[in-house]
Amino acid sequence: MSVSIRDAMTDPALFGGQFGGDSFAAWRALLAGFYGLPLDQDEATTWREVTKRPAPTAAHEELWLVVGRRGGKSQAAALLAVFEAAFQDYTDRLSPGEVATVMVLAADRKQARAAFRYISGLLHSNPMLERMIVREDKESIELSNRTAIEVHTASFRAVRGYTVACCIADEISFWRSEDSANPDSEIIAAIRPAMATLGGKLLALSSPYARRGELWETYRRNFGQAGDVLVAQAPSRVMNPTLPQRVVTQAYHRDEASARAEYGGQFRNDVETFVSREALNAVTRSGPLVRPYDNRYKYYGFVDPAGGGADEFSMAIGHLEDGLLCVDRLDAVKGTPAAITADFADILAGYGIRTINLDKYGGSWPADEFLKCGIQAEHSPKVRSELYIDSLPAITSERVELPPDDRMAHQWTMLERRTSRAGRDSVDHAPGAHDDRANAVAGLIALNSQAKKHRPIRDWL
């Protein structure tokens, strides 16, 4: 006898102890409807509330779920992974030696580990399912029915070569990549062919963020519309009524715009892309990546120091030529800060630079380190957000020439402009993203694009 998603959530011999109570009633209604099961009166009411659709008559192929934080998405994702792997039979569609994979994609390694712990915990909590485990490591579990559950960080490379029975895109609104401005769309485009032979299901669960990306586009096209793609939207407390109301109320008092997204399940309307890729392409030279020193010009430098970890220690060098700020080179490295400072000082000296500006980071140590190497370093009079805002007019009016550095360009496109309730704009990188290279270039542009012009006209034009 086959096991339905409702059976899995309510049967005491399966996961009824965790998912069978009132706190998961909304999840049972939504998932039962997604799989095309009949709904009782209360479930139908919840279904209409979160999907804006009439009661379902058939199963759906995709579920895109927009739910606030602490709404139970991680537990639901783990349940769906186990259900699709342990209670579905793919053997008649598998070639000899082939395995059906349930793939869970997360924003980063920490999120992937958290998802895997939930999945492993569910399997080991049930003696029948635990006996199905053939092999288990830190990122995958292979079952005896020729299925496997694997967790990966979100990358289009991770999905290549797999036969996918189900893909669970966890927190898709927050997928970031240094290699792509649109990792969510690239991954979804890559995963659909991998699911084709097994008729796999795509399940995307996320708190909402800005009005861009695959979650927003799918929501915009399909929410409340009939079809195989189901979109649901719900505040945190609809899906998890055990979340204390005071937590939500306090969040709204602190930052209403943020709380509407994090707990209200609403896409933010106060976050916009700061600069378009088209605007950057218009001011980016085709080559070379580094322009050598020319003694006819005066050069300027801006450094964004880093103390290690994931951030890059970045430096931009440029000169002015008939009102055009040319970014001649951009260096960004990781390593020991003192060693990087010495290397950068040598590069600066090679361009005749003895005084630079620094991002306001790390107190006095960056300036002290540069001084040891013969470079006078002064902290920027403006903070990072102001540097971005002040550099934008030079970019949009094409008074800048940028090097063909793809990672720098990607960081610029990931910058976000936020407008406060008081009408004040601020610019910062998106959650989980980096902006070290973009910051160094912005500082160079903002502090030097209005300096004295220097001739002659560039002979390479």
DSSP string spanning 223-259? TT--SSEEEEEE-HHHH-TTS-HHHHHHHHHH-HHHH
Residues 31 and 330: their CA atoms lie apart, in Å, by 50
Residue 38, token pair as written in the block: 């009949």
Do 226 and 314 lie in one domain? The reply is: no
CATH code where residue 311 lies: 3.30.420.240
Do 281 and 258 lie in one domain? The reply is: no
Q: Residue 457 domain-assigned?
A: no
The answer to whether the beta carbons of residues 58 and 229 sit under 8 Å apart is no
Q: Write down which residue in 246, 269, 292 finishes a domain.
A: 269
Do 102 and 248 lie in one domain? The reply is: yes
Phi-psi bin for 323: left (phi > 0), alpha (psi -120 to 50), beta? Answer: left
Q: Write down which residue in 269, 298, 318 finishes a domain.
A: 269
- Long-range contacts of the stretch 89-97 (C-beta < 8 A, 24+): 89/145, 90/146, 90/147, 90/165, 90/198, 91/145, 91/146, 93/197, 93/198, 94/146, 94/163
Count of structural domains, the chain: 2
Residues 318 and 454: their CA atoms lie apart, in Å, by 12
Question: What 8-state DSSP symbol labels residue 72?
Answer: S
- What is the number of H-type helices and E-type strands within the chain? 18, 17
Do 241 and 327 lie in one domain? The reply is: no
Residues 234 and 29: their CA atoms lie apart, in Å, by 13
Q: Residue 460 domain-assigned?
A: no
Rounded to a whole number of angstroms, the distance between the first and last alpha carbons of the chain is 75
Do 153 and 11 lie in one domain? The reply is: yes
Do 200 and 347 lie in one domain? The reply is: no
pLDDT of residue 204: 94
pLDDT of residue 456: 39
Q: Residue 454 domain-assigned?
A: no
pTM of the entire predicted model:
0.73
Please give the chain's pLDDT, 461 residues, in tens.
Answer: 589 999 999 999 999 999 999 999 999 999 999 999 999 999 999 999 999 999 999 999 999 999 999 999 989 999 999 999 999 999 999 899 899 999 999 888 788 888 889 999 999 999 999 999 999 998 899 999 999 999 888 877 777 778 999 999 999 988 876 555 567 888 888 888 888 889 899 999 999 988 888 999 999 999 999 999 999 999 999 999 999 999 999 999 988 888 989 999 999 877 778 888 889 999 999 989 999 999 999 999 999 998 767 789 999 999 999 889 999 999 999 999 999 999 999 999 999 999 999 987 767 889 999 999 999 999 998 899 999 999 999 999 999 999 999 999 988 988 888 776 666 788 988 777 789 999 999 999 999 976 444 443 333 33
Q: Write down which residue in 269, 286, 315 finishes a domain.
A: 269
pLDDT of residue 215: 93
Do 255 and 283 lie in one domain? The reply is: no
CATH code where residue 151 lies: 3.40.50.300
Q: Residue 102 domain-assigned?
A: yes
Q: Residue 109 domain-assigned?
A: yes
Do 128 and 80 lie in one domain? The reply is: yes
Do 246 and 371 lie in one domain? The reply is: no
**What does DSSP say about strands 400-401 and 140-143: parallel, antiparallel, or unpaired?**
unpaired
Do 218 and 326 lie in one domain? The reply is: no
Q: How far is CA 129 from CA 74, 99, 334, in A?
A: 20, 18, 45
Do 316 and 332 lie in one domain? The reply is: yes
Question: What 8-state DSSP symbol labels residue 361?
Answer: -
Torsion, Cα of 289, 290, 294, 298 (10° steps): 100
Q: Residue 461 domain-assigned?
A: no
Helix (H) or strand (E) holding 114: helix 109-125
Q: Residue 453 domain-assigned?
A: no
- Of 69, 151, 160, the closest CA to residue 110 belongs to 151
Beta-bridge partners for 285: none
Q: Residue 156 domain-assigned?
A: yes
Residues 6+ apart with CB under 8 A from 153: 105, 106, 107, 108, 109, 111, 112
Other C-beta atoms closer than 10 Å to the C-beta of 460 total 7
Provide the residue range defining the domain that includes 55: 5-269
Do 240 and 381 lie in one domain? The reply is: no
